[in-house]
A and B are shown apart, each in its own frame.
Chain A
Amino acid sequence: MPAILTVDPRSGVPIYLQIIEQIKRSIALGVLQVGEQLPTVKQLAIDLTVNPNTVARAYRDLERDQVIETAPGRGSFVRANGLTESPRVAVEIGRDALDLALREAKAVGLTQSEIRELFEAALARWFGDFKK
């Protein structure tokens, strides 16, 4: 499998977090399917030219979060109950993106009602205006 993800080592975001994010995103988007095998730690480390321990750390956290499971000697797989996992992951991605936007909006001094107004307007742009 050609590397399904890329990392930006120059970013301030830890590499293992970048790997976790992208694998979760791939699952949420259906790029990685339930039961699908992930590259081995060693293979992904070589593909990305990052330290194997860094990849192993990402896989450990993904296992802990029940996103993937590892069968000794067979490899790591997207968890069988990953279907129920996907919406949760999607929610997480959406929440993080909103948090980021809200932090910025708050930082430039917008009030809660001003932000709400902006949010409603954005919703209308993206989904069509149901109210009117």
Chain B
Amino acid sequence: MSITITNLRKYYGKSAAVDDFTLEIPSATVFGLLGPNGAGKTTTFKCMLGLARPTSGRILYDGKPLMPATFEQIAYVPERSVLYDWMTVEEHVEMNRRAFAKFSPARAFELLETFNVERQKRARALSKGMRTAVMVAMAFARNAEILVLDEPTGGLDPVNQRHVLSLMINEAAKGNSIIFSSHQIGQVERAAENIAVMDRGRLVLQGLVDDLKADRKIVEGIFPDVTFTLDGIANDPRVARSDRTERIVRLLVTGGAADIASRLSSAGAMAVRVLDLNLEDIFLYAVSPANATTDVVVRESSS
């Protein structure tokens, strides 16, 4: 099931948690939603699930608005696990069985075993990671078409984190959609095909992880002395950002790295390098305004 978010806005009082956010989430894939704390990820999830009413904008599932029948198709793992302290893990399984027609208790117990969660334990006796594991097990036992996972690896050890990623990959292979947020960029980088980056309620970057890596490069030039000019290279539309310190210039390009590199050479750079960016680099560039870095930023004026 594909999800279409159009011009979503959510205000709490006068402050916008989500501000004119538009996004298309295709089916049968793992989609990573990234953003600094307070970027609006959780609010977006809540609006998607009908847990928060959008101030304006639309969210459609396969072209249709959220309807009671859609809920059966969506499983949600909230950032803070919602468990009843006095109930055992087993009782939570039973509660889910009663609530959701397609819920499979057998699958839930199998997953709980994978995560090494004891079924007789009361929720209050579970560690943070184990609570996350219970929520994840319940969600993946739902046989839902859409899984919305808000920090689904919070508190989990590396082995269990990998279990969660494998479960996500498995679901995508079955044709289901997974939307997840995580501060562990390495996980998103591994499992997600698409990503969107939110910052202060807005969409600041979106695309296939592989394409973003293929296109975005740092082109670095070192010049013989400080009095070099870039001959307007920094104004090339493919140059997203230009950081210049004394004899070194670093250009963030969104394509044509080889071409930009040879132009730097022509401009007199004695050493030119093209550097790959991993997702963490790409993320940091997307959420840090150019003038917020310690580097001196020079946008060449076109003369």
Which residues in A have some Cβ–Cβ distance to B below 8 Å? 7, 9-17, 41-42, 45-46, 49-54, 57, 103, 107-109
Query: A17-B214, A51-B192, A108-B271 given as contacts; is B277 within 8 A of A12 (CB)?
Result: yes
A12 contact from B29, B166, B192, B275, Cβ within 8 A: B275
Is the CB–CB distance between A46 and B166 below 8 Å?
Answer: yes
Is the CB–CB distance between B210 and A12 below 8 Å?
Answer: no
Docked pose: A16 CA to B209 CA in angstroms: 10
Is the CB–CB distance between B190 and A107 below 8 Å?
Answer: no
A45-B172, A49-B190 known, 13 other contacts, Cβ within 8 Å: A7-B190, A9-B190, A12-B217, A13-B213, A14-B209, A42-B173, A49-B191, A50-B191, A51-B169, A51-B191, A52-B169, A107-B272, A109-B271
Is the CB–CB distance between B29 and A51 below 8 Å?
Answer: yes
Is the CB–CB distance between A9 and B169 below 8 Å?
Answer: no
Query: A12-B278, A107-B272 given as contacts; is B210 within 8 A of A46 (CB)?
Result: no
B-chain residues with CB within 8 Å of residue A17 when the two chains form the complex: 210, 214
A45 contact from B173, B280, B281, Cβ within 8 A: B173
Docked complex: B232-279 residues within 8 A CB-CB of A? 270-279
Docked complex: B157-201 residues within 8 A CB-CB of A? 162, 165-166, 169-170, 172-173, 186, 189-193
> In the complex, which residue of chain A has the Cβ closest to the Cβ of B217?
A12
Name the distance in Å between A117's Cβ and chain B's nearest Cβ: 20
- For chain B, the count of residues having a C-beta within 8 Å of the partner chain is 34
Is the CB–CB distance between A109 and B270 below 8 Å?
Answer: yes
| Contact count A vs B, C-beta below 8 Å | 73
Is the CB–CB distance between B214 and A14 below 8 Å?
Answer: yes
Is the CB–CB distance between A46 and B278 below 8 Å?
Answer: no
Is the CB–CB distance between B209 and A15 below 8 Å?
Answer: yes
Question: Chain B interface mostly helix, strand, loop or mixed?
Answer: helix
Is the CB–CB distance between A54 and B271 below 8 Å?
Answer: no
Docked pose: A103 CA to B28 CA in angstroms: 40
A-chain residues with CB within 8 Å of residue B277 when the two chains form the complex: 12
Name the distance in Å between A44's Cβ and chain B's nearest Cβ: 10
A-chain residues with CB within 8 Å of residue B210 when the two chains form the complex: 14-17, 54, 57
Query: A12-B213, A14-B213 given as contacts; is B190 within 8 A of A52 (CB)?
Result: no
Query: A14-B214, A107-B271 given as contacts; is B209 within 8 A of A49 (CB)?
Result: no
Query: A17-B214, A42-B173 given as contacts; is B271 within 8 A of A12 (CB)?
Result: no
Is the CB–CB distance between A50 and B190 below 8 Å?
Answer: yes
Name the distance in Å between A128's Cβ and chain B's nearest Cβ: 34
Is the CB–CB distance between B173 and A46 below 8 Å?
Answer: yes
Docked pose: A42 CA to B172 CA in angstroms: 9
Residue B111 interfacial (CB < 8 Å): no
Residue B8 interfacial (CB < 8 Å): no
B-chain residues with CB within 8 Å of residue A9 when the two chains form the complex: 186, 189-190
Name the distance in Å between B158's Cβ and chain A's nearest Cβ: 12
Name the distance in Å between A10's Cβ and chain B's nearest Cβ: 5
Name the distance in Å between A124's Cβ and chain B's nearest Cβ: 28
Docked pose: A20 CA to B272 CA in angstroms: 28
> In the complex, which residue of chain A has the Cβ closest to the Cβ of B213?
A14
A-chain residues with CB within 8 Å of residue B213 when the two chains form the complex: 12-14
